[in-house]
Structure 1
Amino acid sequence: MLHGRERELAVVEETLSRVRDGNGAALAIVGEPGTGRTALLEHMLGRAAASFRTLGTSGFEQETALAYAGLHKLLWPVSERIGGLPPAQAAALAPVAGEDAAPPAGPFLVGTAVHRLLTDATAGGPVLCWVDDAHLLDRVSLEALAFAARRPGDRPLAMLLTAGPEAPAVSDSLCGVPSLRLGPLGDRAARAMLDDLLGAEPGTDLAADLIDLAAGNPLALSELAAALTPDQLAGVAPPPVALPVHSRLRALHRRRYGALPPDARRVVLLAACDERLELRTLARAAARAGGDARALETARRSGLIRVDGETVETTDPLVRSSLYADASLTERLAAHRALAAVLDQDRLRQSRHRAASAGEPDARLCEELACEAAAARRSGRHADAAPAWRQAAALTADAGGRAVRLLAAATDSWLAGRTRTARSLLRAARPYARSDELRGLSGLLYGQIELRDGAPASAVQILVDAADRLAGTHRTRAVLALMFAAEAGCVAGDHRQYRRIGERAAAIGRDGARTPVTELMLAHLDGMAATFGGRHEEAIGPLRRVLKLAESLDGCAMKSWASLAAFALGEDRKARDLATMAVNRARLRGTAALLPWALSTLALTQMVLGEFSAATAVSLEGLRAARACGQENGAADHLAMLTLLAAVQGDRETARTRAKSVTETAKRRGLTRPAAFAAWALGCLDLAEDRPEEGAARLRALAGTRPADLFTGVLATPDLVEAAVRCGDREGTEAALAAFDRWARSSAGPARAALAERCRALLAEDDAAAEEHFTEALRLHRQGGSAFELARTEFMYGRRLRRSRRPRAARGHLRDARQLFEHCGAALWAERAQAELRAAGEPAEPGARRRTDDLTPHQQEIARLVADGATNREIAARLVLSPRTVDHHLRNIFVRLGVRSRVELVHLFR
């Protein structure tokens, strides 16, 4: 089974489908050694066997110098057709038929002959021509097949080629052939593959170490799994730190390295000793080691290193670990000493290389490294600080000191966005962390990681235990652990824990002096516990104190907590401004781990304010940041927000696609809040599509069973009331509205009160009372709030007026609603407002052609990407959609703008 290659399989299947329909198509599958090029090709050959005649060959290193060798094997089954080609083309392919070609034909003639022969072979039905390891073909064969692949034509000919990216000549030859690059497997696919390989589920720690070492390479993962010892499987022996000696991948890298001249080998080993070297540093170190920096080009052509601007690095982590493991101790020490000698302007890296060349624990070197790592942390260079702490730990003799430095390495790895590395370092620290204090510090970090990329329900227990261990020595950190524990309970859906956790934190805070940071956290826990308990009047004081304290405190976490406090108080614009500050702090201080969290808070505030385009952009950034950091729970939060944003704007396909993905992740990890957001989104979509019965059923589950859930149940109450009134089933709406009303009355801003008035208007039995509530709701909306919610209130008011046989009064409200919906990009709602206008006697707008600014924000983004030349597949990857969904949107864009092609669309945007 090919794990994690669903997108790639779909691309290849799409290529073959075009050929089945009678058109030619070609695809080059490009990937590093071991990424599964051959496995993907073989899988597709099996699926194509019933409908294609296949012609194929594989490149062999031993035949690279033999002209026509690849064509001879590939075309031999159809060689009898060569005689039917025009004489010049037949002569060009004489070597394929076992005859001499004199004089040898030129590349153009050979290419046209191969193209003609392959297209003629389709007379009997679709033909699949495949070439594995095209980079190992002889030059004549490669150029001829690439020539044919660039000319698919209108005959049912499919050409699939696989190639490695390391040879520039190959990439030049395949230029112009559509390509599919195989990247590394994701963690989930790698774990599924590992389970298959071992026949049983390995321990979590061992699996994580293997996945980290394999760096997403399927062959590396299979070789590591095959080489595990029983003790490693049982967890009593340490996991491997490099590919096994007999590994094919390691042998490949070893052969490449061994084939290089001595100077080039020195250059490669220097690059393997440092993650990223500047060209100038490499040149000086190579000269000091007795080498010649001019050997860099020879080393680069080997595919073992790459030059990126002014820096040099190994092509992937497996190359680095393999070459470093194969180098002798003498070679490694010499390389580290050479680098230490020339890095006089970078104290941290110089100390690291000096430490690497030390043969035994050295207290002076250890202290030097620790000082440099601490300085790097203070300047926000967490990615640089983490390996320095790790080396300092290796040079530390006592267990406690080693644990402290491993924990510091794990913390900086986490803050730098390297979640897997942080987990690995925490596991390494576990045997040395013997005191309650060290176990508490370890639990604090482990709980944060589990909150963002694990099971939030487990994170609660881990963090509460950490707080208990830290209460006696680190009160501020103990309260911090409880802050994260309360959030974890919220994400897991247990908001009742807020009060219990807040009481524990208050008990810790009573002992000894409080810092402003501790005061802010305690006030936040107190205020949010009251909020989640529905005691909104009681929450006002503590939440106001959070806002006051946050004015003088800096940092991403302080501003994020203050933003949530402002949101709970109904001060949405202040909440947005504080969330913006939190995002800026995370960026400026290099705390990549905090950025997805800060962005989620910002997106929430923008969504509530009706700033849908801004919220979508923020959540797309947050989704990418969370995935880059390995925070799947954070990614689910952003995908849930994107689902809700698509739904409120009436983007059916996008909302449903995203909701399915969120629900699957939430079910697997116990993420109640993202699942609730997805359900809320689908309820909003039901309303936009005028299906109130389905919407009421979804929303009643949110607002009815969890009335204290501020972020879903309470916020969704206005939607529930609307759905219930429209379908004539008002059961439970009074209780839900009462909970919402308590929050609205305690709110400082008019937005919540406006929604409460709208709900009363909808529930009003007589028209006079409804008109009074609608009028008040509109007044409050205009004082400050969301343009989208104002539009919905105008729409509902106009709708009621029309049904009360007052069409003239209704038209003004419905007209305003339609314009506001169009401004917000809520296409379905705008269509519904237009339909109500027609029913109220308003004639249709003249002119069929719509302007580009009438598109929804989502449609505008897709249209702009198309205008910039992006393909559907590239747009899908960027916007987290499927290519089919992009195609659906593009058809709607064409209809809305009155255009018939991508070319016409491009002209509209110029």
Structure 2
Amino acid sequence: MDLVGRREALTAADEVLASGSGALVVEGPAGIGKSRLLKEAAGPARARGMAVAYGRATELDRVAPLSTLLRALGRLGEPPGGFDALGWAAEVVARAARAGPTAIVLDDAQWADELTCLALRHLIHEPAGAPVVWLLGRRPFPAQPAIDALVSDGARRVPLAPLGEDEAAEFCARLLGARPGPSVLNLARAAGGNPFLLEEALNGLRAEGRVVVSGGVATIEGAGPASSFGAPVERHLPAGFGAAVERRLRDLPAGTRRLLEAGAVLRRPFTVHEAAGVLGMPPGALLPDVRAAVRAQALVEDGDRLAFRHDLIREALYDGLPAAVRAALHREAAAVLRLEGSPAAELAEHLRHGARAGDVAAIRELRAAAEDMTAAAPSAAADLMLRALELARPAEPGTPAARERQGLAAGVVRLLASAGRLAEAREVADAPDAGLGPAEAAGVTLGLAEALKHAGDDHGVIRRTGRALERADVPVRERARLLAVRAHALMTAGEIDAADRAAAEAVAAGEPFAQVVGLQARSVVALTRGEPREALEHARRAVALADAAGGEAAHRHPRLWLGAALTALDRLEEAQEAYAVVGRESGRLGTAWSSPLLHRFLAGLLLALGRVDDAAAEAEAGLRVARRLDAPALSPALLGVLGRVALLRGDRAAARAYVDRGRDLAGDGPGLVAVELRWRRLLLGPPPAAVQDRSSGAPERAGDEPPWGGALAYLVGQEPWEAVRLRAVPGVRECLRDLARRNPGVASLVAAAAHAEGRLEEAVELYRTAPRPLGLAAALEEAGRHAEAREVYAACGLTGRPTSGFAGGSAGGGEAGGGGQRVDRWGWEALTGAELRVVRLVAQGMTNREVAAALFLSPHTVDSHLRHAFAKLGVNSRVELTRQVLAHDHPD
């Protein structure tokens, strides 16, 4: 039967398909027609010559990482195991896009697993311009924040409303072949305009012989003024649907009903063998019941498996089971699946619903399954661990179940925190539990502290770890870990000496995780004190320990801090190599948390190298990733990078907006990021009177503290040539001189010290030996060698007439502060050098990953360049982009 009442939705799908890229999210309650609409939309997609990949999530997908996406993309290539499956998915989509326009359909996306949802947020928007259309169908419940974020990011949302009265009447007429009478229309109203529910009810009544057609009008025999359905309500199943299913299936043999109940509990397409195992019967004995269920249109064949014709039927049967029967069937399902060698996560999901309190085997299996899926699906893993904790908590002290409880609370807190469920993590952490020993109590605090750290709540970390460390009975291992995490919070909060003491104590304990995390903190402390060589030694030691220990120590990615130390020492190529390793390892280990941090470090490195456009694209990509991962703590630092780039381009208003946004997020306390943003703000205009140099003629108020506390060496060392612009500020010139004296092998520091002292020709020659071209350009500009300065600025992607940003030596002198204006333009001539490099490689057929590898960029940064190029060229696909490249590079 043709779709009724869905013309606008079909038009929306057709428009997205016609655009050649983007995403459409079809949303509505169960039975409203989402699946039918997606299948209808796939027809025009094929007619346009698009390849169509189709996948449908099941309720068990949530515990099977990337299962939903792999099911849809599997026809395009054989998926690998492990976390590389995410990279494989990106490559498969890129290859499909190169082969031609592609439509990827994912139905029932509300059940999609966490890793699929994370992948979707990347794949749908990147690579930019790829001829790939995504069509998603989902129910409003259970909520799926990742798909909500897709809509926020630009995916088109198409809500399917219930059929109106006229549409419902047309639907009934088409189904029954006659005009609906009042009793039929009453039934349609009671069904709430839900097409599937209405169709099931009418087919059931027709099968009972209660639909009578007379004079071209269809009526329901025995129907009163209102149907038996009652008013619809907001719930997962439409109101009255359970009763409708019961009527449809009540005449089936008892054995067939038991088969359907077993299938409902299995919660996915199932084999006859599995259903027979759950029911304790030989598979052959079930064959008559299978045939009866298929004839009744309750089940359909799905390859070598059986599936419910609609998931609503399965849900209605499942919800109708008495709780005791449902739990017993789940226990039987777990036993059968264990023998079948099914995935541990699926087995655990049945144990979650069927295990009894104190069941030691169930607790162990739930825990093991949660540990297996922690990296890819922390929220689903947390649900399993929460159930294990529930099963273990009633146990008497000294019993096996009580012993199994050890470590569960800490694990639950860590998982809830890593899944972003901080309120629940706090609730578990703060729950009174006399059974917790010192080690587990410390572990609970540690799990929550790490979550608070990633959320940017450093003071919460300091508070909680401080309370935990006051206990004298905290074991050495847990104490060391608490100190290591506390050290990072203290460091970020600006308590540098306290951070170093905590980190040193953590390292001295000899526990690998604590050593790696503590050494990372000590490396940052050393940079803050202007000791980059010591920072390098700490970072190198952390890398060696993490490589040797593996596991959670390796998951901390100490090469991030190694790269920062190498950058401070002007060893920029080695820093590039360190960051490249982090990029590869984070994909292999599934440590998505590190991605925004890597973007931040890479953006700073690219700016040091003078690759201004690449630095901006890297920072933009970092902000997008931080938003998608709901990791706001790093956004202020990334905004600071964009502020630096805008100032270099001469756009002081944009620079001020970026920095002010960052300051709003970071606050105005003593924290390292807040201090850095105050430093950036100072670069945008004349220093306030409170910090003016006495030689400038402005008074300095007595008793004022420097606005950067003890972090001046860190700020100056990040980009020494920039600090020269603030040489009139008290302490800056002296700090540059001191850093150069202590680090004579760091050419950028020595050059900047000479620059700050006004020894410009010496500074120019010293900058020529350093790898930071923007410092050279600034010194040339101030020395009046404008033509040479313009050449260096142009090589860095900055065009226009150099300004007098350094001529007066003040923080606010000049309009652009170096490099001149970059006027927004359109067309081929508006492309920057970085954008040209990217589009030319893309035109050769390279994927984002291949371009990234060729140019030492992240795939996200390549995508940022492509977005800018598309906007400037007025194109929205790679095909159009390639035509532009060919037209301009090969005009003949």
TM-score, scaled relative to structure 2: 0.55
Between the aligned partners of 2:390 and 2:440, the Cα distance in structure 1 is 18
Alignment CA distance shift 1:356-1:650 (3 Å): same
SS where residue 468 of structure 2 aligns?
A: helix
Q: Is the 8 A contact 2:487 2:499 kept in 1?
A: yes
Q: Distance in 2 between matches of 1:378 and 1:888?
A: 37
Matching of residue 346 in structure 1 with residue 342 in structure 2: yes
Q: Within 5 A, what are the aligned runs for 1:619-658?
A: 619=619, 622-641=622-641, 644=644, 648=648
1:420 is aligned to 421
Partners of 2:643 and 2:655 within 8 A in 1: yes
Q: Is the 8 A contact 1:407 1:429 kept in 2?
A: no
Pair 1:437–1:528, CA change in 2 (3 A): same
Matched, 1:452 2:454: yes
2:361 counterpart of 1:365: yes
SS in 2 for 1:705: coil
Partner of 1:408: 411
What amino acid is aligned across from residue 499 of structure 1 in structure 2? D
Q: Is the 8 A contact 2:740 2:753 kept in 1?
A: no
Aligned to 1:432: 433
Q: Residue 334 of structure 1 is aligned with which of 318, 329, 334? A: 329
Distance in 2 (CA, whole Å) between partners of 1:297 and 1:906 is 60
Distance 1:463 1:834, change over 3 A: same
| Distance in 2 of aligned mates of 1:628 and 1:677 | 25
1:312-370 deviation per Cα after TM superposition (whole angstroms, max 9, x unaligned): 99999x99999977753123542553364135223623642563464532444245416
Given that residues 505 and 522 in structure 1 are in contact (C-alpha distance below 8 angstroms), is that contact kept between their aligned partners in structure 2?
yes
- Partner of residue 790 from structure 2, selected from 801, 804, 814: 814
**CA gap 1:297/1:250 in 2 versus in 1, 3 angstroms:** farther
Match of 2:476 in 1: 475
Q: How far does residue 449 in structure 1 lie from its aligned partner after superposition? A: 0.9
**1:156-175 alpha-carbon deviations (Å, 9 max, x no partner):** xxxxx997484345457889
The equivalent residue for 2:748 is 754
Q: For the structure 1 residues 746 and 298, does the alpha-carbon distance in structure 2 shift closer, same or farther, using more than 3 Å as the test?
A: farther
Deviation at 1:271, TM superposition (A): 9.1
Q: Any conservation in 2 of the 1:757–1:774 contact (CA below 8 Å)?
A: yes
User: How many angstroms apart in 2 are the aligned matches of 1:771 and 1:731?
Assistant: 20
Q: Secondary structure at the match of 2:728?
A: coil
Residues 382 and 416, structure 2, Cα contact 8 Å, conserved in 1: yes
Structure 2 distance, partners of 1:450, 1:562, is: 24
State the match for 1:127 in structure 2.
none
Q: Does 1:736 align with 2:732?
A: yes
Distance 1:398 1:212, change over 3 A: farther
Structure 1 pair 638–140 and aligned structure 2 pair: CA distance change class (3 A): same
1:451 is aligned with what amino acid?
K
Give matches, 1:346-745, under 5 Å: 346=342, 348-349=344-345, 351-353=347-349, 355-356=351-352, 358=354, 360-366=356-362, 368-369=364-365, 372-373=368-369, 376=372, 386-396=382-392, 397-398=395-396, 401-402=404-405, 404-414=407-417, 417-420=418-421, 423-424=424-425, 427=428, 430-432=431-433, 434-469=436-471, 472-491=473-492, 494-495=493-494, 497-506=495-504, 514-515=510-511, 518-521=514-517, 523-526=519-522, 528-534=524-530, 545-546=541-542, 549=545, 552-554=548-550, 555-557=554-556, 558-567=558-567, 571-611=571-611, 619=619, 622-641=622-641, 644=644, 648=648, 659=659, 661-667=661-667, 672-675=671-674, 693=686, 705-706=708-709, 708=711, 712=715, 714-715=717-718, 718-722=721-725, 731-732=728-729, 735-745=731-741
**Shift in Å at residue 500 of structure 1?**
1.7
- Is the alpha carbon distance of 1:391 and 1:452 closer, same or farther for their aligned partners in structure 2, counting shifts above 3 Å? same
Specify which of 153, 160, 167 is matched with residue 34 of structure 2: 167
Structure 2 residue identity aligned to 1:772 = E
Q: Specify whether residues 281 and 564 from structure 1 end up closer, same or farther in structure 2 by C-alpha distance, changes over 3 A only.
A: farther
Q: Percent identity?
A: 16
Q: Is the 8 A contact 1:352 1:388 kept in 2?
A: yes
Are the aligned partners of 1:760 and 1:770 in contact in 2 as well (CA < 8 Å)?
yes
8 Å contact 1:643–1:654 — kept in the other structure?
A: yes
- Provide the C-alpha distance between the structure 2 equivalents of 1:381 and 1:706, rounded to a whole number of angstroms: 41
Instruction: After TM superposition, give the deviation of residue 418 of structure 1 in Å.
Output: 1.3
1:448-502 per-residue CA deviation (whole Å, 9 max, x = no partner) reads 1111115222222223333444x754434423322322322343xx32x231233
Deviations 1:120-169 (A, max 9, x none): xxxxxxxxxxxxxxxxxx96765499779999xxxxxxxxx997484345
Q: Which amino acid aligns with 1:391?
A: R
1:532 deviates by 2.6
Q: Which residue of 1 aligns with 2:778?
A: 796
SS in 1 for 2:421: helix
Unaligned runs of 5+ in 1: 1-64, 66-137, 152-160, 185-210, 219-244, 302-306, 687-691, 725-729, 805-809, 837-847, 869-877
Could you state the TM-score of these two structures normalised by the residue count of structure 1?
0.54
| CA 1:486–1:413: 2 relative to 1, 3 Å | same
Q: Distance in 1 between matches of 2:451 and 2:680?
A: 28
Deviations along 1:201-220, whole A, 9 cap, x unmatched? xxxxxxxxxx99755599xx
Q: Where in structure 2 are the equivalents of 1:280-319 lying within 5 Å?
A: 284-285=274-275
Q: Whole-Å Cα distance in 2 between the matches of residues 559 and 139 of structure 1? A: 56
- 8 A Cα contact 1:702 1:713, kept in partner: no
**Cα drift, residue 405 of structure 1:** 1.4
Task: Give distance in 1, aligned partners of 2:573 and 2:448.
Answer: 34
Question: Could you list the runs of 5+ residues in structure 2 that have no partner in the other structure?
Answer: 16-24, 46-106, 111-139, 149-229, 280-285, 694-703, 806-824, 846-858
* Distance in 1 of aligned mates of 2:427 and 2:717: 39
Q: Partner residue of 1:250?
A: 235
What's the CA shift for 1:581? 3.2
Alpha-carbon distance change, 430 to 212 in structure 1, aligned in 2, over 3 angstroms: farther
**Does the 8 Å contact 1:662/1:678 carry over to 2?**
yes
CA distance in 1, matches of 2:867, 2:316: 44
Tell whether the 8 Å contact from 1:659 to 1:682 is kept in structure 2 after alignment.
Answer: yes
Q: Distance in 1 between matches of 2:787 and 2:657?
A: 36
Q: 2:533 touches 2:565 (CA, 8 Å); kept in 1?
A: no
Q: Match for residue 224 of structure 1?
A: none
| Counterpart residue type for residue 404 of structure 1 | G
Quote the offset at 1:444 in angstroms. 1.0
Q: CA deviation at 1:446?
A: 0.9
Q: Which residue identity is paired with 1:338?
A: A
Indicate the larger mover: 576-585 or 646-655: 646-655
Structure 2: which amino acid aligns with 1:466?
A
Higher helix proportion, which one?
1
Q: Which amino acid aligns with 1:631?
A: A
How far residue 435 of structure 1 moved from its aligned partner, in angstroms, is 4.0
What residue identity is the alignment partner of 1:452? H
1:156 aligned partner: none
C-alpha change, 1:349 and 1:292, in structure 2 (3 Å) is farther
- For this pair of structures, how many residues does the alignment match? 634
- Label 1:150 to 1:770 Cα distance change in 2 as closer, same or farther (>3 A): closer
In structure 1, how many angstroms separate the alpha carbons of the residues matched to 2:537 and 2:568?
A: 12
The answer on whether the counterparts of 2:504 and 2:518 sit within 8 Å (CA) in structure 1 is yes
Distance 1:601 1:505 in 2: 22
Distance change >3 Å, CA 706–CA 171, structure 1 → 2: same
Aligned to 2:179: none
Q: Distance in 1 between matches of 2:691 and 2:310?
A: 50
Mapping 1:3-14, distance limit 5 Å? none
| Cα contact 2:413–2:428 (8 A) shared by 1 | no
